[in-house]
Structure 1
């Protein structure tokens, strides 16, 4: 896996391209010298958690022939100052599912994602506590 980064302005706006040609952008917030033209690197970390777990949960439920009519998630990261850095100390993920889905299967799919399969969460796990909950048809399971 390889990413190429190219600076786009005199400050912190960058273009990133993966080996398959997909392009995305990163910038810094205005209060820290950027122009807020794109998400920050730490926001992309949270997006990675959201996307990785979504792929896992949907894949698991599809294999179990569950009818998913809607999937969304919210990811919130709490950071702590350590020296000059501010890494995540805790990340909370809420998975929202709708459809004809067995509640135990929904709960188990999220558990498997965060405890076993999600490479992004597993990468962050040594330094950040990952908390997750599953909401199925507007009710926490």
Structure 2
């Protein structure tokens, strides 16, 4: 299945992409004082954490567990020299569920990240990808 996005130029450090259904994503490479959009590397982290989240929600629902909320953070360590690719990525989810056990959460998150998330499976195997969780009841 082919997927495609188109790139548009706004300025030297600002771009946008548009997919086939006309959804637009703003991208910039500015520093903290001027930053208004995510950088390409931040988009990669966003892609991994949200891709796995879709599967996490689906698996929790299939187990007929209550899910009140799901949030999380993805962080990455990058090489100091070009190309400044990620060497490590860590994903941490906070799951608000009164009846999901730690064992169920660990299994669900492992499956979501390691088996089902197409973004995670698309990154280099040289990147150490780890995950964790916290359940709030």
Q: What is the TM-score of this pair, normalised by structure 1? A: 0.87
1:12 alignment counterpart:
13
Find the residue that maps to 2:50 and give its secondary structure: helix
Find the residue that maps to 1:68 and give its secondary structure: coil
Find the aligned partners of 1:115 and 1:99 in 2 and give their Cα distance: 22
Find the aligned partners of 1:80 and 1:119 in 2 and give their Cα distance: 23
Moved over 2 A (4+): none
Give the aligned CA root-mean-square deviation in angstroms.
1.8
1:80 aligns with 2:79: yes
Find the residue that maps to 2:80 and give its secondary structure: coil
Find the aligned partners of 2:108 and 2:124 in 1 and give their Cα distance: 18
The answer to whether the 8 A contact 2:6-2:18 is kept is yes
Q: CA deviation at 1:103?
A: 2.5
The answer to whether the 8 A contact 2:13-2:30 is kept is no
The answer to whether the 8 A contact 1:13-1:37 is kept is no
1:53 alignment counterpart:
52
Q: How many residues align?
A: 134
1:38 alignment counterpart:
37
5+ residue gaps, structure 2, are none
Find the aligned partners of 1:18 and 1:127 in 2 and give their Cα distance: 29
5+ residue gaps, structure 1, are none
Cα deviations by residue, 1:58-87 (Å, 9 ceiling, x for unpaired): 1111111110001001111001135x2100
Find the aligned partners of 2:44 and 2:67 in 1 and give their Cα distance: 26
Find the aligned partners of 2:42 and 2:30 in 1 and give their Cα distance: 11
Q: What is the TM-score of this pair, normalised by structure 2? A: 0.90
Q: CA deviation at 1:38?
A: 1.1
Query: Equivalences for 1:1-141 in 2 at 5 Å?
Result: 1-9=3-11, 11-30=12-31, 35-82=34-81, 84-100=82-98, 101-137=100-136
